[in-house]
Chain A
Amino acid sequence: GENVEQHPSTLSVQEGDSAVIKCTYSDSASNYFPWYKQELGKRPQLIIDIRSNVGEKKDQRIAVTLNKTAKHFSLHITETQPEDSAVYFCAASRMGNQFYFGTGTSLTVIP
């Protein structure tokens, strides 16, 4: 099955700085890679996703890059704000199939 690794497990940045979270996956057939933000005790919320036919996708301050050859993808958050503080999970899946999540990154944005 799929194995998704995520780094770092914790990340602290100053407000306004950028944050980068990286994930690797093992199944070369995986072709859909969503990123979720989860606040304590709440449900995960999709913040951005990318398909394998695209190398990069951006939505305002959030961007995701994908390197299919190396089997890794990254989340980039620019101009971080305190409300960005949360746990972020990457996931990998074959289109339409189940998600396999990374281990999560606890992001703290220091005002």
Chain B
Amino acid sequence: GAVVSQHPSWVICKSGTSVKIECRSLDFQATTMFWYRQFPKQSLMLMATSNEGSKATYEQGVEKDKFLINHASLTLSTLTVTSAHPEDSSFYICSARLAETYNEQFFGPGTRLTVL
């Protein structure tokens, strides 16, 4: 149980285009999902906390107008990278938590974004 999927697993796009990444909890409902960005050989940097039915909470330094997060259902959160540029190329990973009182987060397999 507690499986999280992401789609797509990789994407290549041209500079200036927008890319949407989906994060799904397959066998549980997740009121909270988290989005991370990981550059090569670096740590996972929390970008935002996605709460179902409300606005996402962004970490300091993350542009909310550039990284649009929507958590419209208890099993789906989406991250849209708008007007992507080469410096946005990274590994984007989401995670989901089983319940408010549950600590463990289950991670998706990640999405490799390459912006040309």
Contacts and interface: CB of A to CB of B under 8 A. Distances in A.
Contacts of B108: 43
Given A96-B101, A103-B43, 15 more contacts: A1-B59, A1-B60, A34-B103, A34-B105, A41-B112, A43-B93, A44-B93, A89-B44, A95-B101, A96-B97, A98-B34, A98-B49, A101-B44, A103-B42, A104-B43
Interface of B: 34, 41-46, 49, 59-60, 91, 93, 95, 97, 100-105, 107-110, 112
A32 B105 CA distance: 12
Given A1-B60, A43-B93, A96 B43 contact: no
Given A1-B60, A43-B93, A43-B110, A99 B105 contact: yes
Nearest to A106: B41
A99 B42 contact: no
Given A43-B107, A43-B109, A43-B110, A96 B46 contact: no
Nearest to B94: A43
A105 to B, nearest CB: 10
A100 B105 CA distance: 12
A98 B46 contact: yes
A36 B49 CA distance: 19
Interface of A: 1, 32, 34, 36, 41-46, 49, 51, 89, 93, 95-96, 98-104, 106
A59 B61 CA distance: 38
A4 to B, nearest CB: 9
Given A43-B110, A98-B49, A93 B43 contact: no
Nearest to A93: B103
Contacts of B107: 36, 43-45
B4 to A, nearest CB: 8
A111 B101 CA distance: 42
Most buried by B among A46, A49, A98: A98
A42 to B, nearest CB: 7
A95 B103 contact: yes
